[in-house]
Amino acid sequence: METNSVRVCVPVCVQRASDLAAAIERAAEVADIIELRLDCLAENEREMTTSSLPGCLNSAGTPTILTLRSAEQGGHTSADHEARRRFWSSLHNLPGNYLIDLELDLVLDFAAGQPHKESWIDWSRVICSHHDFGGVPIDLDRVYGRMAATPARILKIAVQADDATDCLPIFRLLERARSEGREMIAIAMGQAGIMTRILGPSRGSFLTFVSLDEEKATAPGQLTARDMREIFRIDQIDQETEVIGLMGKPVGHSLSPHIHNAALAAGQVNAVYIPFEVGDAVQFIRRMAHPRSRELDWKLRGLSVTAPHKSVVINCLDWIDPAAKEIGAVNTILIQKDELHGYNTDARGFIEPLRRKFGSLKDTRCAIIGCGGGARAALWGLRNAGAQVALFVRDPDKARPVSEEFEIESYQLSGASFDGFDILVNATPLGTRGDREPDTAATADQFRGVRLAYDLVYNPVETRFLREARAAGCETLAGIEMLLAQAVEQFKLWTGNEPDVEAMRSAALRVLG
């Protein structure tokens, strides 16, 4: 294998041998290495493929990994240990630039065999692999030790991550392998492990796996080749690359990686924005983020914070912007030397699009539907701008703490008329892509007399709330405007620079269609 700083590997997983050539050709367009997942082939097809493998390897023109993954290790074959052993023993004198991925049990078996019986094995071509789909085993270091004691050239360990902190053992393994002069592939699978796929090569991982598209992923958390190269710009990530991330749960649906990575690319900033699936915010801040306690040596610059952590993180910070303190939520963290500073850009992000529409908001009459974090930021922003605000909710009892804190009236949403209000804001999740998409916080009849309807839901861009408002003759403002405005403020905090807003907008609209 040639020595690239980053190797992107695309697995080819087809059931029929006749489909291999076309699949290899497609993979070669975006891959530095191709993995032929022979376990994906039907049993009878695999036997036929044995004789055609030399031709496949010759035609590939790209370095190739041959894999026959056992069912216990996440493969698609029912072949037991002995059947897999026979299969590999039947392959001799294969041409081309290739590696063979053997699970630890087979490596130990072959390594213990008599030299003349297994003389076909070229250990410089062998990857010794171990997969654990149940989580991070407590004896991970012992597993590594057993693998490192074999004659295999490359070690591969993949474990399931349930939280971003589960990536720490993977990064430690890469550090250990590098210090011991071993070539290694180390991956945390699942949404929570994405950072190991993006940052692994820059920290010594021999390669990272991607898929041709979302339907062809061969392991949980695998990103597409396009996303890895165009959004996360993996070919440009090095040890000097700063890291910015989104902490929340879930984060897989977020547009923030698309928006911020587009701005970083447009500004030629050596930084990458990564989603972090975080269940325990306090542990993540302590073990991975705070400069005085983190267990990972990385150039973390800052974080976006989303549900359900916007209030929880407040107690983990060294300094909080007064506005964020009043709102009671932090959505942005900036690392300043050895301190964490907290901000809330939601409020300004909410207000800026309104200012562009109205100019001054002083004495405008505004109604907000909802009483969650988005409603609090909107309420704070409007009050600071001199607007008169009322809250409308399904359950006034739940809204009472917010009403009392901000000294405003709250009303029952059901049957409410908003005639006489200048602005009506939907700060609920109603209308969000998915099960709630057909819903709306208000109907056309309720919109009569309202001048502007503002929906904080940004996916889809066109919500039922906005359609109902237009049917009543209202102007409308889509949630993507707030999303972009608050992202602009975040970018300025992290980099000190103005972002390319049109690059951010284009990235968001490309995803939203």
Show the CA angle centred on residue 20, arms to residues 15 and 25, nearest 5°: 140
Quick count: other Cβ atoms within 10 Å of Cβ 497? 12
Q: Give, in order, the Cα–Cα distances in Å from 433 to each of 249, 276, 437.
A: 17, 21, 5
Quick count: other Cβ atoms within 10 Å of Cβ 156? 24
Q: How many C-alpha atoms does 133 have within 13 Å on its Cβ side? A: 10
> Which residue's structure tokens are 């041959």?
66
Gap between the Cα atoms of 186 and 190, Å rounded: 13
Max distance between CA atoms of the chain, in angstroms, equals 91
* Sign, CA torsion 253/256/259/260: negative
Question: Coil, strand, or helix at residue 233?
Answer: coil
Work out the end-to-end distance of the chain between its first and last CA atoms, rounded to an integer number of angstroms: 40
Gap between the Cα atoms of 153 and 122, Å rounded: 9
- 492 among known catalytic residues: no
Q: Give, in order, the Cα–Cα distances in Å from 83 to each of 5, 43, 69, 70, 238.
A: 36, 11, 12, 10, 42
Question: Coil, strand, or helix at residue 393?
Answer: strand
What is the Rg, in whole angstroms, of the alpha carbon atoms belonging to the chain? 27
In the DSSP assignment, the letter for residue 427 is -
- Give me the catalytic one of 117, 216, 310, 362: 310
Q: Which residues are catalytic?
A: 310
